[in-house]
Structure 1
């Protein structure tokens, strides 16, 4: 029987072969169907293998290939943690491929996307399977470069070119941080294999430095604030099914890297590491959703929402580190399971929402929500599945987003068992931040769905919208069904995640399948429990009774009247609520501090016929106060160093001589 890791490597080889096929058939009209059909089939095969490996618990399988560094080769390993993230990668890849079968037919330049799409999937699979530092970094950089090529697919757009540049700079910075982290882990002996790193001992100072570097390297790819600046630029620039992969899957590959190093390779954690990760996660969650609320571009809103969900995941990982450091194995397993469950959930509903945004963009040509509206009448199926995604990401029962966030708050409630007073204070405080982020997320997606799909059309493009193709709808409905099933049957997902928690933490949550009525009991029945199936049954019964009583006892007379116009009737759609007006109360509460928001009102004097105007100025303080000074400093030194190319031959020789003397002195002092 072929080992599981070998099967996955063959799937990766098939994806790379599909890249060659895409290049060979680039001039064919059938290339879109061929490439996306092939990636769909390969992703399903890889997904089936990963699911079997995760559920069966057969243990880790390894593979060494004679490529790479001469004395090292390339090592690959499939264990429970890798199997779970392969499920996320290949499920997202299959959904994006199915969506691409329809969406790709609308691409003006498919040859710029088709060769890189299967290569992107192959790169993410290889990162998860890598079992030595060299292979991991090589595959990480391959994944980054291929995704950059996809971001630059429409490079003639100036905004897209800027997004690609920022993404490339941040990706290079992240890779440098990871390179330094693995250099510290390898130590003076230079043992790059994960098995050797896992067996080595690391001092507290080395562990702290590796944690900081992993937060920089993996955190920049995942979207931790303040390393998030590339994400709201690159995700909207890419094609929508690629945006779904970057947001719903690639950020999870970065989280995998963080878990692999910090939980697995680095050894027993310290509780202070949990504090750092916990605070960063809480701040990222609140800041990300505040950024999203201020957006009117639908895809940028979804990109900023990804930052919020990444913050939720890192906060749960910080809790797991704190509990593990204090020997609270069951609580650590609960926090880690909540993080992994949210990883899976976010890949479901964020991919669904990006697919919905792509459907809107295909049908209307617009991403600006202020130019949409009324699409529920013209795109009813897309509206329905987008609503499912909005409810799921807002953490409302009975969908899946509620379960993972509920598990996370159950972990927060275990904080009184922690011995450190700093953790006793910080965990509830971060829990309050996460609760605020959850409430703001609900408001954000009320705005996203309401402004985009409800009301009246605000533009001719919205009036002329039509439903999208069956492949796109099939991909969206598949993810909507998964959001629903994971919400009403969460115990099955938790049990599937138990081997991961056992492998990483050494503990697992109690078996949930044995609980009656498919309830989930994270700690004990005396603490708390939840039953998604009963909640769904109650919601269905209550809604059915309400419909029955309305139809049975209400008047049968049909009455029609004008839509409510906020106190006055106006035939123009401009009189509707806009996205800016919807978030005005939130902007006035938080925007003054977070964005330095200022409102400028130009009110005409009595008798003047010109219209009144309201202008809102907001600032991205992270960009203006962190990245802008760094950029200016780089340009300053670049201008100074530019003078070196105009030196005379004598000055060049003097510079070489001075450099040689300096190096010899440094070598003498070092020795």
Structure 2
């Protein structure tokens, strides 16, 4: 057994032991420090081990344990891809555990959270390390069940119970799709080991079926449209540090599963596979951010914006498939690197934003932005780091979201080199969809920050708010620093990703650290380049000079006047923009086809003292088209089948006899 893999397997074992210990001591006052402290230390150690493996470009290592299926064992493997995603999982787990040291003290049901929290981290680690279908699916189900238990932590809330039920159903559907995909990859020989699947080379029909099944299985866990219905329900229902893990980390484990099968086990892709992934990714990005714009619940808004970022990642993966299928390794390496870079970036800023939402919830008890406002005066540190997260996710330089999305657009600009006309038309169209999604994301997070932190307090709870604990602030500050560092020094990240890209694409982006002034040049300096460090210096110097000039040379005379209130002279909180009113223009443009939105105005007759009312009716189109008919059919079938519980013994025996006859007929007629 390889020593590095053995050390990495000790991590999930230690996390599972922590989960058992948490079940025993979760009702004691010291349990929060013990459980989250242990999870932090274990995750941090795993980060160091994996980072050392990536930095040393140590190649592949594997191990087999005498567990799992007979004569097969449980196989585990560490290569460039798994090392990168282990880094994402454990870095996110370590920072979430640091946040949990403070946030956990405010948890109303710690005994329902702490035993499953380290188990959830262990499950994600095991999924990434698994090297056979049985170990992968077992770890996948374990991860899903542990996260479901965390979603159900506050089970007395009806909305949380519904979220847990839908999540469990979607998780089961996804696992079934993955099981069928691995069955096709195993073929007639039934070899469950990934090493054997790599050499199987399924035919075009089987390969297409595997791609569709992976989009269903991994896409349902990641949140691809129209399989996203569970995500905006489950992520807000969980405690905030768990929401950060589910949104920022667990969705990346699903992306890992997709990459492992489609880019590694499936062999050379067909050019049309890129079209399928591109279209789904672009549609997911636009619809996800449109839904986020319509939300007034802060955590649901963040959950929907995760769907948008998942769409960006899958769009880039679709580009990589298209370029790889057409023997364009340099372009494929650019698109694939952009996808991995955005995976890392999204884990940073989405975790930061969920931590900020958790701080707001802890301080005010509110998630509804209509009841917030003015928090910048009461939560100054939280408001600053939340602003960093908003700027990052809006893809504004010099933060990390811009760097990775800029690489995605650089890959899109290589599309004229593709030979198929279908790709030449579809790729620019999807690029336009991503540009629209980026603009809407900026508007969305202007709304999220402005309505939540600016203006006047809209409720008494906000007026009593105070800054959260130091552990939570430290975790958010670390993520804010990562967002800045990855944005101003992207060349370090790109070069660190090169072993992963080489192993799956066969090529890499040019060495970025050789470029002067730490610029990044994805193709050639004559075509495009970007320097996040110079942008950061320019912004800092310009802002500092402007502030100095204003304070030094502006008039010192003090003038007082009424602040402009957007046309409202009455300075009351109700006269401010709300989350709903902010999104109204965009809702009127896109609401007809995206949400089937309808506005109904109830205007009283002249002279009446009744207030005028505006009612907005919106629908989740994907839910109504795909899920409501299925749930209706299931309800109808269960009502009819319920009569089977009340049959007599003679009728039961008759049913068994008929069932046996049908089975015998099937066997007799089977060719």
**Which band: TM-score by shorter chain?**
over 0.9
Post-superposition offset of 1:624 = 1.4
Q: Is the 8 A contact 2:99 2:472 kept in 1?
A: yes
Which residue of structure 1 aligns with residue 173 of structure 2?
A: 173
* 1:253 aligned partner: 253
Bigger mean CA deviation after superposition, 636-645 or 327-336 = 636-645
User: For 1:577-656, what aligned pairs fall within 5 Å after superposition?
Assistant: 577-656=577-656
Correspondence list, 1:98-247, <5 A: 98-247=98-247
- Secondary structure, counterpart of 1:615 in structure 2: strand
Q: CA deviation at 1:27?
A: 3.0
User: Quick one: distance in 2 between partners of 1:394 and 1:479?
Assistant: 16
- Shift in Å, 1:647: 2.5
Aligned-partner SS, 2:465: coil
After superposition, the C-alpha distances for 1:592-625 in whole angstroms (9 at most, x for unaligned) are: 1111111111222222122111111111111112
Deviation at 1:91, TM superposition (A): 0.5
CA separation in 1, counterparts of 2:618 and 2:26?
44
Could you say which residue in structure 1 is the equivalent of 2:545? 545
- Secondary structure at the aligned position of 2:656 is classed as helix
Aligned position for 2:345: 345
Residue by residue over 1:266-314, the C-alpha shift from the partner in whole angstroms, topping out at 9 and shown as x without a partner, is: 0000111100000000000000000000000000000000000000000
Alignment correspondent of 1:75: 75
CA distance in 1, matches of 2:2, 2:254: 29
Residue 2 (structure 1) shift: 6.3
Q: Does 1:291 align with 2:291?
A: yes
Contact 2:510 2:522 in 1 (8 A): yes
Q: Which residue of 1 aligns with 2:316?
A: 316
Aligned to 2:368: 368
Aligned counterpart, 1:65? 65
1:570 aligns with 2:570: yes
Partner of 1:77: helix, strand, or coil?
A: strand
| Cα deviation code 1:93-148 (max 9, x no counterpart) | 00100000000000122111111100100000000000000000000000000000
Are 2:55 and 1:55 equivalent residues in the alignment? yes
After TM superposition, the structure 1 stretch with the greater mean CA deviation from structure 2, 521-530 or 601-610, is 601-610
Q: Could you tell me which residue of structure 2 aligns to residue 43 of structure 1?
A: 43
Structure 1 residue 559, shift from structure 2 partner: 2.0
Partner of 1:427: 427
* Pairwise CA distance, 1:361: 0.1
How far off is 1:652 after superposition?
A: 2.4
For structure 1, which segment, 496-505 or 604-613, has the greater mean C-alpha deviation from structure 2 after superposition? 604-613
Query: How far apart are the structure 2 equivalents of 1:139 and 1:568?
Result: 57
Provide the secondary structure at the position in 2 that maps to 1:378. Answer: coil
Q: Is the 8 A contact 2:19 2:114 kept in 1?
A: yes
Cα displacement (A) at 1:645? 2.1
1:514 is matched with: 514
In 1, Cα distance between equivalents of 2:266 and 2:560:
67
Of 384-393 and 628-637, more deviation after overlay is shown by 628-637
Give 1:566 shift.
2.2
Matches of 2:475 and 2:562, distance apart in 1: 37
Match of 1:25 in 2: 25
Deviations, residues 623-665 of structure 1 (Å, cap 9, x unaligned): 1121111100011111121122222333323222221121111
Matches within 5 A, 1:350-361: 350-361=350-361
1:374-394 deviation line (CA, Å, top 9, x unaligned): 000000000000000000000
- Looking at structure 1, the residues matched to 396 and 247 of structure 2 have their Cα atoms a distance apart, in angstroms, of 21
Q: Is 1:457 the equivalent of 2:427? A: no
Shift of 1:540: 1.1
Structure 1 counterpart SS, 2:349: helix
Does structure 1 retain, via aligned residues, the 8 Å contact 2:96–2:475?
A: yes
Q: Tell me the alpha carbon deviations over residues 203-240 of structure 1, each in whole angstroms, 9 at most, x when there is no partner.
A: 00000000000000000000000000000000000000
- Aligned-partner Cα distance in 1 for 2:48–2:167: 33
Quick one: distance in 2 between partners of 1:563 and 1:118? 51
1:362-441 alignment to 2 at 5 Å? 362-441=362-441
Task: Give 3-state SS (helix, strand or coil) of 2:560's partner.
Answer: coil
Deviation at 1:515, TM superposition (A): 0.5
**Which secondary structure state, in structure 2, belongs to the residue aligned with residue 68 of structure 1?**
coil
Per-residue CA distance 1:62-99 (angstroms, 9 max, x = gap): 01000111111000000000000001000100010000
Instruction: Give 1:509 shift.
Output: 0.5
Displacement of 1:157 after TM fit? 0.6
Distance 1:418 1:34, change over 3 A: same
* Cα distance in structure 1, aligned partners of 2:644 and 2:238: 39
Q: How far apart are the structure 1 equivalents of 2:526 and 2:223?
A: 38
Q: Tell me what 1:478 maps to.
A: 478
Distance 2:130 2:487 in 1: 32
Deviation by residue 1:318-368 (Cα, 9 ceiling, x = unmatched): 000000000000000000000000000000000000000000000000000
What is the rounded CA distance, in whole Å, between the counterparts of 1:645 and 1:262 in structure 2? Answer: 45
TM-score (ref. length: structure 1): 0.99
State the match for 2:8 in structure 1: 8
Q: Distance in 2 between matches of 1:387 and 1:289?
A: 18
Q: Distance in 1 between matches of 2:614 and 2:625?
A: 27
Cα RMSD, aligned residues only = 1.0
- Give the Cα separation in 2 of the matches to 1:649 and 1:92: 57
**3-state SS of the aligned residue for 2:616?**
strand
The superposition leaves residues 32-57 of structure 1 with CA deviations (integer Å, 9 ceiling, x where unpaired) of 00000000011000011111111211
My pick for the range that moved more, 28-37 or 542-551, is 542-551
Q: Structure 1 unaligned runs (5+)?
A: none
Aligned equivalents of 1:476, 1:638: Cα separation in 2: 48
CA contact (8 A) 2:26 2:111 kept: yes
> Offset at 1:438?
0.2
CA distance in 2, matches of 1:562, 1:93: 48
* C-alpha distance in 2 between matches for 1:206 and 1:274: 16
**DSSP-derived class of the 1:562 partner:** coil
Q: Is the 8 A contact 2:2 2:61 kept in 1?
A: no
